[in-house]
Structure 1
Amino acid sequence: MNIPRHHFTLLATAGTALALSLTACQSDAPTKSAPAATSSATGTATDDGQTSASGTTGSSDPARSTASKSSTDHSDSGGSAGSTGEQATATTRGCTARDVTVTAATQGGAPHTHLVLTARNTSGHSCRLAGAPHIQFLESHKQDVPVVAKSKPAAPVVLTAGAPAYALVKLSDGGVDEDNEPVSAFSVMLEGDSKVIAVTAPGSGGIAVDPAKALTGYWTPELRNGADDF
Structure 2
Amino acid sequence: MNASRRTALFSVAASAALALSLTACQSGDGTKAGGAPVAKESAGASAAESASASGTGGSTGNAVGTADKSDSGASSGGTSGGSGTSGSAAKGSAATPVCHAKDVKVSAERQDGPPYTHIILTARNTSSHRCEMAGFPHIQFLESHKQDVPSVAKSKPAAPTVLNPGDPAFALVKLSDGGVDEDNEPVSAFQLVLDGDSAVITVDSSAGGGIAVDPAKSLTGYWTTELRNGADDF
TM-score interval (norm. to shorter): 0.5 to 0.7
What amino acid is aligned across from residue 108 of structure 1 in structure 2? Answer: D
The Cα offsets for residues 121-156 of structure 1, whole Å up to 9 and x where unpaired, read as 000110111000000000000010000000000111
Specify the alignment match of 1:143 in structure 2.
147
Specify the alignment match of 1:218 in structure 2.
222
CA contact (8 A) 1:106 1:202 kept: no
CA contact (8 A) 1:141 1:211 kept: yes
TM superposition shift of 1:91 = 4.0
Map 1:62-77 to 2 at 5 A: none
What amino acid is aligned across from residue 128 of structure 1 in structure 2? Answer: E
TM superposition shift of 1:183 = 0.3
Instruction: Measure, in 2, the Cα distance between the counterparts of 1:185 and 1:218.
Output: 20
What amino acid is aligned across from residue 190 of structure 1 in structure 2? Answer: L
CA contact (8 A) 2:187 2:206 kept: no
Map 1:72-83 to 2 at 5 A: none
Instruction: Measure, in 2, the Cα distance between the counterparts of 1:165 and 1:85.
Output: 24
2:194 paired with 1:190: yes
2:116 paired with 1:109: no
Instruction: Measure, in 2, the Cα distance between the counterparts of 1:159 and 1:219.
Output: 11
What's the secondary structure of 1:156's corresponding residue? Answer: coil
Give the greater-gyration-radius structure (CA): 2
Map 1:14-29 to 2 at 5 A: none
Specify the alignment match of 1:152 in structure 2.
156
Structure 1 stretches of 5 or more lacking a match?
1-83
Instruction: Measure, in 1, the Cα distance between the counterparts of 2:222 and 2:178.
Output: 22
What amino acid is aligned across from residue 152 of structure 1 in structure 2? Answer: K
Specify the alignment match of 1:81 in structure 2.
none
Query: Comparing both structures, which one devotes a greater share of its residues to helix?
Result: 2
2:181 paired with 1:174: no
Off by >6 Å, runs of 4+ in structure 1? 84-87
CA contact (8 A) 2:193 2:199 kept: yes
CA contact (8 A) 2:95 2:130 kept: no
Instruction: Measure, in 2, the Cα distance between the counterparts of 1:154 and 1:87.
Output: 22
Instruction: Measure, in 2, the Cα distance between the counterparts of 1:205 and 1:106.
Output: 11
What amino acid is aligned across from residue 196 of structure 1 in structure 2? Answer: V
Equivalent residue in structure 1 for 2:132, among 120, 128, 133? 128
Q: How many residues align?
A: 149
What's the secondary structure of 1:101's corresponding residue? Answer: strand
TM-score by length of 2: 0.61
C-alpha distance 212-166 of structure 1, shift in aligned 2 (>3 A): same
TM-score by length of 1: 0.62
What amino acid is aligned across from residue 106 of structure 1 in structure 2? Answer: R
TM superposition shift of 1:163 = 0.2
The Cα offsets for residues 191-221 of structure 1, whole Å up to 9 and x where unpaired, read as 0100000000042421000000000000000
What's the secondary structure of 2:113's corresponding residue? Answer: coil
Instruction: Measure, in 2, the Cα distance between the counterparts of 1:90 and 1:102.
Output: 24
Instruction: Measure, in 2, the Cα distance between the counterparts of 1:90 and 1:229.
Output: 34
What's the secondary structure of 2:110's corresponding residue? Answer: strand
Cα-Cα RMSD: 2.0
What's the secondary structure of 1:88's corresponding residue? Answer: helix
TM superposition shift of 1:158 = 0.7
Instruction: Measure, in 1, the Cα distance between the counterparts of 2:206 and 2:230.
Output: 25
The Cα offsets for residues 101-129 of structure 1, whole Å up to 9 and x where unpaired, read as 00000001101100000000000110111
Structure 2 stretches of 5 or more lacking a match?
1-87
